[in-house]
Amino acid sequence: MPADLTIAIDATGGYGAPSAVVEAVGELSRTAAAGTYYALVGPHDWIAEVLVRTRHNPEKIAVISSDQPIDRACELIAAGEADALVTAGNPAAVVAAAQARFQMVPSIDRAALATVFPTWDSNGGEQFSLILDVGASFRASAEHLVQFAQMGVQYARIVTGHAEPSVALLSSSPDPLHGPDEVTRAVELLSNTPLNFVGTVDGYQVPRGGIDVIVCEGFAGDLTTKVIEGFADAAFEMAENAYHRKFAYKMGLKLLLPGLRKIRRAVDFEEYGGAPLLGFDKVVIVADPRSSPRAFANAVKLAAKSVRSDLPSQIAAATS
């Protein structure tokens, strides 16, 4: 574990860049613990222009000038000058840059993006599940799905503290024999591992909880998480509109507000920071391109936590 910690941050990633990124880093720099530093990577003048208008502590921030910020950040990490990368850039570009500079952990040959999302148990209590891959690549073979399951289980152990997290494959049906070939083949392979594999789940089951780790190919995972986020956003926007339209709605919503706010927080993707890119020997966090400064700051915090807990080594130890 490094004594000092430097997080390299791609200042150009995301729809709100560089303002959202710089604002997040500015806020973090003001409260950063001793020995924690941030390297903002991107075009120098662009970053400088935003930074000068932002509350920040420059003692904690270095600006690294680059027109290829993801590549440059990976270079810094490979050279030992930074410890982790946070970016809201295109996941495919991030994976390509990481592949060029970092090593895969032993027994893993495909990286996966893992993210947590809220679920509810039968008693209405809040829970969280982990889903991977959510977009590091589009397709995955049965062998890749098994590797994702191994990495996901280890990450879930770190995040939730469960010794034996349950793991399931996302498919078109809860029946393990009905689904794409790679999924039915992965069912067979996973049944022969020591993992707590519970079979397949369909889309209906995903937000209902009960499974700690859900494994799927990147295309399906990305779609699933975005539908959940989009549905929650739309529902709350409808409530907001209703609130301003009718007095009766306003009163009703006022009464429900504490509970609704709690649900809002639970389904708010900004709370979860970003998705760790599992499978490399370095920490990489991919944030949602829609990230606000708060979401971005949470992604940077997740990166710091992952470095402090030496996530890549833990994944390597569990999968080798």
The residue (of 54 and 184) whose beta carbon lies closer to other proteins is 54
Residue 22: CB minimum distance to other proteins, A? 11
Number of Cβ within a 10 Å radius of residue 235: 14
Q: In what order do the strands lie in the sheet with 274-278?
A: 61-65, 36-42, 5-10, 84-87, 283-287, 274-278, 112-120, 126-132, 213-215, 166-170, 196-201
Give the Cα separation of 100 and 193 in Å (integer).
Answer: 31
48 lies in the binding site for other proteins (CB under 8 A): yes
Residues 116-155 that bind other proteins (CB under 8 A): none
**Which of the stretches 48-56, 95-103, 182-190, 218-226 binds other proteins when contact is defined by CB under 8 A?**
48-56
61 lies in the binding site for other proteins (CB under 8 A): yes
Q: Hey, CA dihedral for 224, 162, 168, 315, is it positive or negative?
A: positive
**Which of the stretches 59-67, 123-131, 141-149, 292-300 binds other proteins when contact is defined by CB under 8 A?**
59-67
Question: How is residue 311 written in tokens?
Answer: 């996530």
Residues 237-296 that bind other proteins (CB under 8 A): 239-240, 243, 253, 257, 260-261, 264
Q: Of 233, 223, 221, whose CA–CA distance to 129 is shortest?
A: 221
The residue (of 269 and 280) whose beta carbon lies closer to other proteins is 269
Question: Torsions phi, psi of 140, nearest 5?
Answer: -150, 140
Residue 150: CB minimum distance to other proteins, A? 37
The residue (of 62 and 189) whose beta carbon lies closer to other proteins is 62
Looking at residue 35, its amino acid is G
The residue (of 20 and 64) whose beta carbon lies closer to other proteins is 64
2 lies in the binding site for other proteins (CB under 8 A): no
Question: How is residue 183 written in tokens?
Answer: 């999924």
Residue for token digits 């926007």? 237
| Residues binding other proteins: number (CB under 8 A) | 31
Binding residue for other proteins (CB under 8 A) from 19, 37, 46, 308?
Answer: 37
Give the Cα separation of 37 and 40 in Å (integer).
Answer: 10
Question: Torsions phi, psi of 170, nearest 5?
Answer: -80, 130
The residue (of 67 and 188) whose beta carbon lies closer to other proteins is 67
Instruction: Using CB under 8 A, list all residues that contact other proteins.
Output: 4, 6, 30, 34, 37, 44, 48, 51-65, 236, 239-240, 243, 253, 257, 260-261, 264
